[in-house]
Amino acid sequence: MKKCLWFLLLITTACTPGMQGSGSDGRQSVNYSIALPDQWVEVTSSRHFLMTKDGVFSQYILIQQRHVEEPFKHTKRTFNRQMLPQEAAQVVLDEIASDRSVMNFKVIENKPVQLNRYDGFRVVFTYKTSKGSEFKTTYYGFLKGDWFYSVRYNVSDRYDTRDGYEDFEVVLDSFRIKGA
Amino acid sequence: MGKRIIRRIKDIVFLIILGFFISGCATSGLQPLHGDSVSKGNKLTLIEQAENEEAILEESGFIYNNHELEAYLNDVVKRLYAHTLQTQTIPRVKVIKDPHLNAFVFPNGMIYIHTGILSRLDNEAQLAIILAHEMIHYMHRHSFKAFGGYERHQVGQKSQGRLKDLLNRLGATLSMAAMAGYSQALETQADVEGMALVATAGYDPREAIRLFGHLKREVKTEHFKEPLFFGIHPRIDKRIDNCENFILSHPVTDNKGLLNQDIFLEKTREVILVNAFLDLKAGRFQSARRCAVKYLDFNKNDARVYYLMGEIFKLKGGAVANNKMIGFYEKAIALDPIYPEPYRAIGLLHYKDEKWGLAKKAFESYLAVSPHNQDRAYILEYLEKCQTEGV
């Protein structure tokens, strides 16, 4: 029962800081593909793609596709098609910082990267929940046309191992936009 | 096993009932001062929970640490408290970096006021109205009354430990309840007795009408839907009625009472700017602009506010010419040549317009005044492109 409640909380708010699953307005058509690393299981794919190896409170990888005009939950801001990766990263960071369930939010790294062939950003940040659990998130994002894509790896400080990052890199390398 | 499941179902049913209770159903009349309906053990649990949540908030990064401001706010509380007959611990005040219009109090007397509402106030009398309202919630132990329902739900069971379990399961329920407000009757009590306290302490209670009036206009123009100090329990119109009724029944004399506008604006000036940036980040552009204009009224030589104005126009979008934004950024640079952000903002505008030479110059200035900023990698990439494209 308790785990169910926690999981519901995770999906709806707390542990996916700053981001809502997209597609609820019917505009969404998932148009990316990724590979599932060995021993990882898909938790849900109805609104976003969430996978974990040892449970979502240990670590998870979340892939989201969001329409540029869809406002964020906490800031009500949107992307625009002309944004540079740095500006898109700021929209994401402002959203996470505005989420009251995300405490002690600290940005460790924020830099431009290419995710496959797409110009985007990579931000690394840490945060705590109100229960004192500590997490570290490595977040990649980029804008392409009408869509913003993000791939993130979220890990509890108690499970922060090299293996998880290697699996995350497998997912990143496999990320493709269909038809692109 | 079966009993455990039934117990959990009962808890969930109670949570739903508690939700309704907290969010607006009427209670049965006002109880006398100090009267509450929760046992001593559960009072301690609520106090303990409040202290835990206070400690979490303290470490959360949400607290706006400004000792001078905090001391000033606590002085206003002391002034009000001196006009009560209370023997409880005197309430304390802290400020939360949050652009939403809210204030709330924990059962242990810790009052939190958001930068959002603080930055909208015009004078100390309006501040006193908000603080007095929260003090009345605390002094009448409204949180105990709200949670007293849990004990009635648990009649015949060992409820003390159970309330603790419930609060643990809910996590932030205590603060959420405090932030969301109480039932209409308790809110009305806090309004009316808060106004009386403000008047007794020598402040002008009519400021409440002004305060509620312009908050109402703002709520309307910005389409705010968040929990508000004035907006939910009861609705803002009812709150205005409460104040008008109080003023009608307590006519003020020629002596209009204290406003203390100058000292208030001196102590809260920085909050207005801080909150304007928070509003900007939250995408509340009209609010950000309103705060920026208010700040400009008494500080025309602060570079940050001109940078902010440029950013408001930039993020808001629409048909604003780059020249207008650049004008604000250049004004900021003229006032403070080592303030880095306006250089970057100018660089980005030129970069997007493919004015490579101008962009390069601005980005180089940015790096010169802020060589170790976290976004250095982006700037170096822009400079590389300016170099390549500009040839």
Distance (Å) from the C-alpha of residue B126 to the closest C-alpha of chain A?
27
Highest-confidence segment of A30-34, A42-46, B99-103, B263-267: B263-267
8 A C-beta contact, residue B112 and residue B104? yes
- What mean pLDDT comes out for the span A62-78? 92
Residues A2-177, CATH architecture: 3-Layer(aba) Sandwich (3.40)
Q: Is B283's CB within 8 Å of A77's CB?
A: yes
| pLDDT score, position B39 | 67
Contact with chain B for residue A26, Cβ under 8 A: no
CA distance A118 to A115: 5
Q: How many CA atoms lie within 13 A of A17 on its CB side?
A: 32
Q: B315 CB near a chain A CB, below 8 Å? A: yes
The distance from CA B319 to its chain's CA centroid, rounded to whole angstroms, is 32
Contact A62, A50 (CB under 8 A): yes
Task: Flag if B282 and A84 touch (Cβ within 8 Å).
Answer: no
Mutate to test the interface with A, among B54, B280, B281 (most CBs of A within 10 A): B281
Whether A42 has its CB under 8 Å from any CB of chain B: the answer is: no
Chain B interface includes A35 (CB < 8 A): no
With CB atoms and an 8 Å threshold, state whether A80 touches B281.
no
| Per-domain boundaries in chain A | 2-177
Domain assignment of residue B112, given as a range: 2-249
Q: Is B348 on the interface with A (CB under 8 A)?
A: yes
Q: What is the CA radius of gyration of chain A?
A: 15
Indicate yes or no: CB of B169 within 8 angstroms of CB of A111: no
Contacts of B172 in chain A (CB under 8 A): 130
Q: Determine the length of chain B.
A: 391
Distance CA B104, CA B89 (A): 17
Give the gap in angstroms from C-alpha A14 to the nearest C-alpha of chain B: 12
User: Rounded to 5 degrees, what are φ and ψ at A142?
Assistant: -155, 155
pLDDT of residue A116: 83
Closest-CA distance, A111 to chain B, in angstroms, reads 6
Sign for the CA dihedral angle at A86, A90, A93, A95 comes to negative
- Residues of A with CB below 8 A from B381's CB? 112
* Confidence at A130, pLDDT banded by 50, 70, 90: confident
Q: Do A112 and B378 touch (CB under 8 A)?
A: yes
Contact A110 B56 (CB under 8 A): no
Name the residue type at position A148: F
Distance CA A112, CA A86 (A): 7
Q: Nearest-CA residue of chain A relative to B281?
A: A94
Task: Give the number of domains in chain B.
Answer: 1
Beta carbons within 8 Å of B353's beta carbon, 6+ residues apart: B322
pLDDT of B184:
77
A42 three-state secondary structure: strand
- B230 within 8 A of B236, measured Cβ to Cβ: yes
CA distances from A68 to A146, B257, B280 (A): 6, 52, 19
Torsions phi, psi for A84 (to 5 deg):
-80, 160
pLDDT one digit per residue (tens) for chain B, 391 residues: 455 555 555 554 444 444 433 333 222 222 334 445 566 667 777 888 888 888 888 888 999 999 999 999 999 999 999 999 877 889 999 999 999 888 999 989 999 999 999 999 999 999 999 999 999 999 998 877 776 655 555 544 444 455 555 455 444 445 555 555 677 788 888 989 999 999 999 999 999 988 888 777 777 766 666 445 554 445 677 778 888 888 888 766 656 789 999 999 999 999 999 999 999 999 889 999 999 999 999 899 999 999 999 999 998 877 667 889 999 999 999 999 999 999 999 999 999 999 999 999 999 999 999 999 999 999 999 999 999 997 6
What residues contact residue B32 under an 8 Å CB cut-off, 6+ apart? none
d(CA A18, CA A40): 24
Contact B284 A76 (CB under 8 A): yes
Contact list, A109 vs chain B (CB under 8 Å): 374
Best CA proximity match to A118, nearest among A72, A180, A61, A66: A180
Determine the distance in angstroms separating the CA of B33 from the nearest CA of chain A, rounded to an integer. Answer: 33
B165 CB neighbour count, 10 Å cutoff: 13
- All residues of chain B having their beta carbon less than 8 Å from the beta carbon of residue A111 are 377-378
